[in-house]
Amino acid sequence: MKEEKRYREFANIKRKVGHFPKAKYICKEGIEREVIIWCSNDYLGMGQNPYVLKALTETAVMTGAGSGGTRNIGGNSDMHL
């Protein structure tokens, strides 16, 4: 796939709480540079809100983490409902 130019490589992005929308981009050589994330669905920065992070952490401790498959197969989580 790489030879055919069909292999997709994703950007290595390192986010840090409290610095939204800034992040670090890490190139293949390991060099970091600051970037601004323009393509986030988190346009209000709620993914870094302390109350949201606390609720997320408490829920993960209670229920575990991971998707468990698609909703079509695994159903909905009661937390989402």
On whether residue 6 sits in a domain, the answer given is no
Residue with tokens 């050589």: 29
Gyration radius from the chain CA atoms: 17
Asked whether residue 75 is domain-assigned, the answer is no
pLDDT score, position 48: 87
Q: Domain span at residue 30?
A: 12-67
Q: Number of structural domains, the chain?
A: 1
List the structure tokens of 73.
């197969």
In a domain, 73, yes or no: no
pLDDT of residue 52: 92
Identify the segments of the chain with pLDDT beneath 70: 67-68
pLDDT value, residue 30: 92
The predicted pLDDT at position 71 comes to: 76
Distant-in-sequence, close-in-space partners of 5: CB < 8 Å, separation ≥ 6: none
